[in-house]
């Protein structure tokens, strides 16, 4: 069912111009996608929602747009050259390549699925079912849960210790087979660095090796002093940026969830050492509120990291219930003074902040929020896509596909539709209304096909309002305005249309709840 939804989503994205596979003429390029006309609008709206909530609404957060290419030493200092690796394993028979940690996680997922199935079976059998009690006492469930826990711990330890041999041993002990071919003929596990590299034209050899940034955060750290001095911000303050990042992911499946070229919205918040846990809790709550303003609460949850990155002293994921289950949508990380400290050490330049209240200098600590634009896009769309039956309608009008996107994020805010296209004065009037609306919002003018069909086309891309110009318009200067979700139509004066559409689609609707 969920798998079907995912397939539907991918084909819907292509059919309606949200997302195309990159280089399709040449059979595509794995893990790379292009955003079509609708996708470009939705993506821009997601970025605008983030930028306004983070930069515009906080006096102590400022924006930045740093370059993708940076001095290669930056990636040495950040730890990416030495440690930005994933464990890779090849199947010798199928020649397919996998991430060893994901193969092992797959076994944990299988155990969890078995447990959930058992729980659901029991729920159907017993009245007044006590789930917690069942989970802690049913012998089979307890055994599977312990097993899953053991595997997760061993995986976390091996990852932390960089113990590739133990990952291989675990894969063998669990008798994990290649999901596609069933073969257990594996190579050793080895580390694979995820950074893409290229070469400067005027410097030969290693010295001229450049990396495409794997995260936007380092552009913020290396500009910390520039920004602090030029904006006279005082700690605590933040620097935010939106931009492309590149990772040579070993397995880039699941559509735009895991891409090799993607976009991040990151904010680094610089705080006094010792206050970082308060700010960590603060940003956890703020970011969850941002997500809940556009997605239902039951599709969101926090998940603490089992395995902290080398730079973090606390880290949590905001997970979203994608069609393939709960997965990371955003990370909130307490990064200590690791990054600024490393850049200070490797560059030999002092990166400190003089705190006038304490009358002392220190390297600020950092709390980071980092969300992928593309994963957010997938979250919004997978939550919005609905196939439904239309009450009291017949034939091809009796079902519809509708994208219930928050109106402020919708790619097109309204469509203007003359009821017929062979009446010159009606078409002229419709054009007139459209010309006024397009100054205010992205709108579409559509006169082709029967009106029902045109409504369906707009429903499928999530347009919140359709404005129909009919014969009555010519008499009394009123139009009907149809709301996407309820399909209710209301007759309103032409002079009120801009105000009505603005009231419902304004980004302010989302922002005002965020405080």
Contact footprint for ligand ATP (CB under 6 A): 215, 247, 249, 258-259, 262, 264, 328-331, 370-372, 374-375
CB of 115 to ligand ATP, least distance (A): 23
CB of 430 to ligand ATP, least distance (A): 41
| % helix, strand, coil for the chain, step of 5 | 45, 25, 30
CB of 306 to ligand ATP, least distance (A): 12
CB of 274 to ligand ATP, least distance (A): 24
State the Cα–Cα distance between residues 441 and 309, nearest whole angstrom: 43
CB of 46 to ligand ATP, least distance (A): 12
Nearer to ligand ATP, 237 or 262 (CB): 262
Nearer to ligand ATP, 6 or 353 (CB): 6
CB of 130 to ligand ATP, least distance (A): 34
Nearer to ligand ATP, 159 or 235 (CB): 159
Q: Closest by alpha carbon to 315, among 334, 329, 338?
A: 334
Q: Closest by alpha carbon to 266, among 195, 368, 367?
A: 368
Environment class of 198 (CB within 10 Å of its CB; exposed 0-12, middle 13-18, buried 19+): exposed
Non-local (6+) Cβ contacts of 257 within 8 A are: 322, 324, 327, 374, 375, 378
Environment class of 234 (CB within 10 Å of its CB; exposed 0-12, middle 13-18, buried 19+): middle
Query: Bridge partners of 466?
Result: 415, 482
CB of 154 to ligand ATP, least distance (A): 19
State the Cα–Cα distance between residues 107 and 6, nearest whole angstrom: 22
Nearer to ligand ATP, 16 or 377 (CB): 377
For residue 66, what is the DSSP state?
Answer: -
3-state secondary structure of 317: strand
Nearer to ligand ATP, 54 or 461 (CB): 54
Nearer to ligand ATP, 249 or 483 (CB): 249
Nearer to ligand ATP, 222 or 259 (CB): 259
Nearer to ligand ATP, 259 or 406 (CB): 259
State the Cα–Cα distance between residues 46 and 213, nearest whole angstrom: 22
Q: What is the DSSP string of 194-258?
A: ---EEE-SSS-SGGGEEE--S-SHHHHHTTHHHHHHHHT--SSEEEEEEEEEE---S---TGGGS
State the Cα–Cα distance between residues 360 and 148, nearest whole angstrom: 49
Q: Closest by alpha carbon to 505, among 406, 439, 379?
A: 406
Position of minimal CB gap to ligand ATP: 372
Nearer to ligand ATP, 90 or 328 (CB): 328
CB of 378 to ligand ATP, least distance (A): 9
- Token pair for 283: 């940003």
Nearer to ligand ATP, 98 or 434 (CB): 98
CB of 375 to ligand ATP, least distance (A): 4
Report how far apart, in Å, the C-alpha atoms of 142 and of each of 124, 153, 171 are: 19, 16, 23
Environment class of 398 (CB within 10 Å of its CB; exposed 0-12, middle 13-18, buried 19+): exposed
């Amino acid at each position: 069912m969920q798998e079907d939804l995912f397939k539907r989503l991918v084909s819907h994205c292509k059919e309606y111009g949200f997302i195309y596979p990159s280089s399709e003429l040449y059979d595509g390029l794995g893990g790379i996608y292009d955003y079509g006309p609708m996708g470009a609008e939705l993506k821009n709206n997601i970025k605008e929602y983030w930028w306004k909530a983070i930069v515009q609404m906080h006096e102590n957060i400022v924006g930045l747009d740093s370059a993708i290419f940076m001095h290669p030493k930056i990636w040495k200092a950040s730890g990416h050259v030495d440690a930005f690796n994933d464990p890779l394993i090849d199947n010798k028979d199928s020649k397919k390549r996998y991430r060893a940690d994901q193969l092992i996680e797959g076994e944990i997922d299988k155990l969890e699925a078995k447990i959930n199935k058992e729980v659901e079976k029991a729920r159907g059998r017993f009245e007044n079912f006590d789930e917690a009690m069942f989970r802690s006492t049913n012998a089979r469930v307890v055994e599977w849960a312990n097993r899953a826990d053991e595997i997760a711990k061993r995986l976390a330890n091996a990852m932390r210790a960089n113990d590739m041999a133990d990952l291989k041993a675990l894969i063998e002990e669990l008798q994990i087979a290649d999901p596609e071919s069933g073969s257990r003929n594996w190579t050793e596990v080895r580390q694979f660095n995820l950074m893409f590299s290229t070469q400067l034209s005027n410097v030969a050899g290693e010295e001229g090796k450049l990396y495409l940034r794997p995260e936007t955060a380092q552009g913020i750290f290396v500009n910390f002093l520039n920004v602090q001095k030029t904006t006279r911000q005082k700690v605590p303050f933040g620097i935010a940026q939106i931009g492309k990042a590149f990772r040579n992911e070993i397995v880039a499946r699941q559509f735009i969830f895991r891409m090799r070229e993607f976009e991040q919205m990151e904010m680094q918040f610089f705080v006094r050492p010792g206050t970082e846990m308060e700010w960590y809790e603060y940003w956890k709550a703020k970011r969850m509120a941002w997500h809940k303003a556009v997605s239902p609460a039951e599709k969101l949850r926090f998940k603490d990291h089992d395995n902290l990155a080398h730079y973090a002293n606390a880290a949590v994921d905001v997970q979203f219930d994608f069609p393939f289950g709960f997965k990371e949508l955003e990370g909130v990380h307490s990064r200590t003074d690791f990054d600024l400290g490393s850049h200070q050490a490797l560059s030999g330049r002092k990166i400190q902040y003089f705190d006038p209240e304490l009358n002392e200098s220190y390297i600020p600590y950092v709390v980071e929020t980092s969300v992928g634009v593309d994963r957010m896009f997938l979250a919004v769309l997978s939550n919005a896509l609905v196939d439904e039956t239309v009450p009291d309608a017949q034939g091809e009008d009796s079902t519809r596909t509708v994208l219930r996107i928050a109106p402020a994020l919708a790619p097109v805010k309204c469509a203007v539709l003359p009821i017929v296209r062979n009446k010159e004065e009606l078409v002229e009037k419709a054009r007139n209304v459209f010309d006024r609306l397009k100054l205010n919002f992205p709108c579409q003018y559509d006169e082709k096909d029967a009106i029902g069909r045109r409504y369906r086309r707009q429903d499928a891309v999530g347009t919140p309002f359709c404005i129909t110009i009919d014969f009555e318009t010519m008499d009394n200067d009123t139009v009907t305005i149809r709301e996407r979700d309820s399909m209710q139509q209301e007759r309103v004066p032409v002079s009120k249309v801009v105000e009505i559409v603005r009231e419902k689609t304004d980004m302010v609707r989302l922002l005002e709840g965020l405080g």
